[in-house]
Structure 1
Amino acid sequence: MPVQPDHVFKLALRGEALLHNPRWSKGTAFTIDERKAFGLTGRMPSQVNTLDEQCARAYAQLQSRTTPLGKNTFMQSMKEQNWVLYFELLRRNLRELMPIIYTPTEADAIADYSHLYRKAEGLYLSFPHQDSMEENYLEQAQGRAIDLVVCSDGEAILGIGDQGVGAIGISTAKAAVYTLIGGIDPSRALPVVLDVGTDNQELLNDPLYVGWKHERVRGKEYDDFMDKFVQIVRKHHPHSLLHFEDFGVTNAQRLLERYHEQHAVFNDDIQGTGAVTLAALMSAIGVTKTKLSDQRIIIFGAGSAGLGIAKQLRDAMKELDDTSKEEANKRFYLIDKFGLLTESLSKAGKVRPGLEEWLRPDSEWVDATKSSEGQLFLLDVVKHIKPTVLIGTSTRGGAFTEQVIKEMAKGCDRPIIFPLSNPSKLVEVDPKDANDWTAGKALLATGSPFPPAKMPNGKDYVIAECNNALIYPGLGFGAIISKSRIVSDTMIIAGARRLASLSPALKDPDDALLPDFGDSPQVNYEVACAVAHRALIEGNAEVEWRTGADSKDMVDVVRQKVKEAIWEPIYGKYEYDPQGQL
């Protein structure tokens, strides 16, 4: 139930222990009576501030920091002091501060983690100490109601690669976004770093590096370590959501597939990216009045994100258009650094394992023009297949050239172009250029925020931001609130369909394909409701939820349950009780 200002908490903490507990501290907002009851009167100045006044002071302090990294460390310090103030300040300045506490600034903080280190946050599970893993886990988690476990092994952090133990920064940031946008109680979230070493030589040579100084563990040792961790989570918090974040390409999909049927697991890089891209594409085909299975889709970049998008779109074709897996696969053309994934490229050893089902037969390309290297690269494929959809996940800035975009526009009336690579300097094409080169016909979404582009009629075309935060907090919250035993593909599709239904482009075809990021809390509420209801229909939810799942009344019941579970940054009233909460 959301905290109301008149909600009374009975606390056993007193004095410094209360003042420095971020979950319970109010700072200068403690009332006179509370200060007397909890031994705080002489520990702080006499003035009692409102939350509004605290936010005004904190925001002014934040603005005195002149760099994004300086603002990041200020916000981190605030989170360690007072959760309500931290999340309320973020809520009031969501669009401005999200890039500070998450991408791109958090990447800088993680890269310099050992040098910025001041205080431990979250759970550190290190390979050398795996014999005491369960004991270490329970030291933090025992007796707590844990709904969300966010973990990372730090191999592929935010486009900057292997950052070892600094990955705790991405786990804590991701957990904070779940609270800020999804409404998950921060006291019920557990950020974890799985320190299995690092192959980052700079970290290994750094005398101040605080992680395990050892090359990254792989193979059976890695799998056994991961399995031990997952089984501990399943044993002690069987209804929690286990969120995998920024795992390397050799492990991300493999781990997801291994545990998909055992527990409610989710990988944002794969499923979140796939889901938000599916929502944007469903909005776009709503404009073009076509079906998902009608598209010819090039995915430029076949890493975790690209593969996740391909699988998500294929699953949606199967679910929504009743298309077989084999037929759906034929709608995709995946291009990696060696060119289009074909049978001959695989025989040459230039296709990594796990991509076999996406190989195109060589017989399709007998008449195709090939590059001087004898391979099929982006322009060659565009000319040959005349795609309707072009998706970039390559981090190759400028790869969608004017020639590529204009060639694509020849083959369809409204080309759908999603350059999704982050940060903006790595985007495959500036959306303004794609808009100009197609005379305003392109339907666009990007992975980073961009200003509007001008249409030929002078109207601003708002560029949709294909931001995972528009959907993954709601996906996770829906699974958590329903206590679903798994996160099924169809639950994710249900969330994506709900997001797509909120698209401004469905009312005006020249408007944005996705809702504004500033509306993300309300959007994720809708996503959570759709996901929870789907879990009920499929029988994945806890038994007590299932009765009447198909009835209209149950839709209203689900919406009410989700609404009641949302945590909000509001101070309640405190009473001292030696037997109260700690």
Structure 2
Amino acid sequence: MSSGDALDGSAVALAGVRDFYGEDLATVDQLVTPWSFSVASGYSLLRDPRHNKGLAFTEKERDAHYLHGLLPPVIMPQELQEKKFMMSLRQYQVPLHKYMAMIDLQERNERLFYKLLIDNVEELLPFVYTPTVGEACQKYGSIFRHPQGLFISLKDRGQILDILKNWPEKNVQVIIVTDGERILGLGDLGCQGMGIPVGKLCLYTALGGVRPSACLPITLDVGTNNQKLLDDEFYIGLRQNRAKGEEYAEFVHEFMSAVKQNYGEKILVHFEDFANHNAFDLLEKYRSTHLVFNDDIQGTASVVLAGLIAAVKLLGGALADHKFLFLGAGEAGTGIAELIALHMSKQTNEPIEEMRKRIWLVDSKGLVVSSRKESLQKFKLPWAHEHEPITTLLEAVQDIKPTVLIGTSGQGKTFTKEVIEAMSDLNEKPLILALSNPTSQSECTAEEAYTWSQGKAIFASGSPFPPFEYEGKTFVPGQANNAYIFPGLAEALASQVTDENFAMGIIYPPFKSIRKISAHIAAKVAAKAYELGLASLLPRPDDLCKLAESCMYSPVYRNYR
């Protein structure tokens, strides 16, 4: 097979200049490696996770690359390797052990790791990402074995550009960066927050098809205010309190400037798990000069909006006919609320200010109302409506009478039996979205939502819950996971929910179809680019979805010459 045989004509149009290992600068992948330089051989090849195939090396490859004697004589194809690893993985009883086993595999055989994740996505996603990644971050210092990504600390001020150049991959297309201050619902985990960008970039590749070498996870270590970590002998970060104010702003600005200088204008910087007081400011500051995306503000909002668009088919009416109550008024809550209001505004041709009046937020001090404006953070002000003060969620539900209850509080067990019962008394089909991660922080479980609502609730959560049977009917909880959109289009995602899914109360398509879903969303993005005259691949291909699928990274082993 020649190198071009793996690509159709449309994909070839995206190809061209290749990096050191022969991979295209786009996400196009090939089955045969057109080596520009000599491939590593012998022991070095077996220690290179990008190119190691373990026992799958053929006799011809073992001859050519001096592998005889370094491997047992058996030749084991990738499919059998996958079967063997899954059998071994299923022996572990502790989720963190499964996480560590998967990370160990990623560090020695990258393609087998992604083959496993793609083929077994519904089973393995909870161990590679939420909820297990939360525990992994909490214990990152203890389980740390091999560095992944770049750690850039305050000690590196004035040298950040040089540090970026230390990363071996030169054709990076996306960076996920965190400062570790608000990891999931677990708070300040400092430098140990690296588990989040590492995990999310695994999803970019496995679920979105972006080649691994295009992805760079970065942690900005500005200290931590978590005293438990500062006292931990195994903590891997700076042992100092967090930088703030001008010191913090100057450090981040040097980083953002260095990123653009090193990787160019088109590099996507994905902000992840920054605290509220920095997240909104950073997005606003750099959105006009860099290609930036905040998953907590924008990604979560897109996924939740997709679920709401789909759920309306079960609830009846239009989205603007419904009333929304949020528990949590931080990045996620206000980001989701704004996107819902924007969508309703476009649907109805009404001003967005009018649509915001259908959305209410409850924070730690109670209902967000106009009488609290002087003490509210800037991003909460659009949601400070005229209403008497209310201090509890139950009172808010009883008074506001929402049809949709959304939890983004990071506080577990806050959707109590009384709250769910109140929602069920008000609505024939209450929509309950308990979005906080990990599972321990979920506002309620699927079992609680279905039981307390007497089977009336439509339920989705941030972390996965198993199917639950109530009075002879099986309910399958949906998962409002940002893995669907990094970033993408809510309407495109909602359109992937089938009648069969709706029949089981599911408002999100199952993860087993995630790569096809990703290709469909990518095609919608591409179609918009052509509509706006921004697309560079001309003429426009007839089938954008097929083109997107052809550009996805494939974890199948290459044949080495």
How high is the TM-score relative to the length of structure 1?
A: 0.86
Q: For residues 459 and 438 of structure 2, what CA distance do their matches in structure 1 show? A: 17
Contact 1:505–1:511 (8 Å) recurs in 2: no
Distance 1:205 1:516, change over 3 A: same
Task: State the Cα distance separating 1:234 from its structure 2 match.
Answer: 2.1
1:462 paired with 2:476, answer yes
Letter in 2 for 1:430: T
- In the alignment, what sits opposite 2:239? 213
Distance 1:253 1:82, change over 3 A: same
Distance 1:59 1:430, change over 3 A: closer
1:444 paired with 2:471, answer no
Task: State the Cα distance separating 1:6 from its structure 2 match.
Answer: 5.2
Q: Which moved more, 1:428-437 or 1:383-392?
A: 428-437
Aligned length: 533
Contact 1:8–1:572 (8 Å) recurs in 2: no
Q: Deviations over 1:137-185 (max 9, x none)?
A: 012156x211111111111112222122212221111111111111110
- 1:513 alignment partner, SS class: coil
Contact 1:146–1:237 (8 Å) recurs in 2: no
Letter in 1 for 2:531: I
Q: For residues 448 and 531 of structure 2, what CA distance do their matches in structure 1 show? A: 45
1:131 paired with 2:146, answer no
Task: State the Cα distance separating 1:279 from its structure 2 match.
Answer: 0.7
Contact 1:3–1:570 (8 Å) recurs in 2: no
Letter in 1 for 2:157: Q
Q: For residues 427 and 239 of structure 1, what CA distance do their matches in structure 2 show? A: 36
- 1:265 alignment partner, SS class: strand
Distance 1:406 1:68, change over 3 A: closer
1:180 to 206, 211, 224: 206
- In the alignment, what sits opposite 2:172? 146
Contact 1:505–1:513 (8 Å) recurs in 2: no
Letter in 1 for 2:337: A
Any stretches of 5+ residues in structure 2 without a counterpart?
1-6, 8-27
Contact 1:287–1:509 (8 Å) recurs in 2: no
- In the alignment, what sits opposite 2:4? none
1:192 paired with 2:207, answer no
Distance 1:427 1:441, change over 3 A: same
Task: State the Cα distance separating 1:249 from its structure 2 match.
Answer: 1.6
The 5 A counterparts of 1:80-159 are 80-140=107-167, 144-159=170-185
Contact 1:4–1:571 (8 Å) recurs in 2: no
Q: For residues 441 and 314 of structure 1, what CA distance do their matches in structure 2 show? A: 26
Q: Which moved more, 1:9-18 or 1:523-532?
A: 9-18
- 1:74 alignment partner, SS class: helix
- 2:213 alignment partner, SS class: helix
Q: Deviations over 1:533-569 (max 9, x none)?
A: 2233335x45x24x67xxxxx4734323312210010
- In the alignment, what sits opposite 1:369? none
1:573 paired with 2:523, answer no
1:56 paired with 2:83, answer yes
Contact 1:287–1:506 (8 Å) recurs in 2: no
- In the alignment, what sits opposite 1:512? 506
Contact 1:286–1:506 (8 Å) recurs in 2: no
Q: For residues 160 and 81 of structure 2, what CA distance do their matches in structure 1 show? A: 40
2:279 to 242, 252, 257: 252
Distance 1:167 1:404, change over 3 A: closer
Q: For residues 428 and 356 of structure 2, what CA distance do their matches in structure 1 show? A: 24
The 5 A counterparts of 1:334-413 are 334-347=361-374, 349=375, 351-361=376-386, 364-365=387-388, 375-413=390-428
Q: For residues 450 and 66 of structure 1, what CA distance do their matches in structure 2 show? A: 17
Q: For residues 103 and 405 of structure 1, what CA distance do their matches in structure 2 show? A: 25
- 2:237 alignment partner, SS class: coil
- 1:131 alignment partner, SS class: coil
Contact 1:293–1:323 (8 Å) recurs in 2: no
1:423 paired with 2:438, answer yes
Contact 1:418–1:445 (8 Å) recurs in 2: yes
Any stretches of 5+ residues in structure 1 without a counterpart?
366-373, 476-491, 549-553, 576-582
Name the structure, 1 or 2, with higher relative contact order (CA <8 Å, separation 6+).
Answer: 1
1:41 to 53, 64, 68: 68
Q: Deviations over 1:116-147 (max 9, x none)?
A: 222221111111112111011012156x2111
Q: Deviations over 1:204-236 (max 9, x none)?
A: 222332222221111111112112212222232
Root mean square deviation, CA, Å? 2.3
- 1:157 alignment partner, SS class: coil
Q: For residues 397 and 70 of structure 1, what CA distance do their matches in structure 2 show? A: 24
Contact 1:4–1:570 (8 Å) recurs in 2: no
Q: For residues 537 and 141 of structure 1, what CA distance do their matches in structure 2 show? A: 37
- 1:150 alignment partner, SS class: strand
1:18 paired with 2:50, answer no
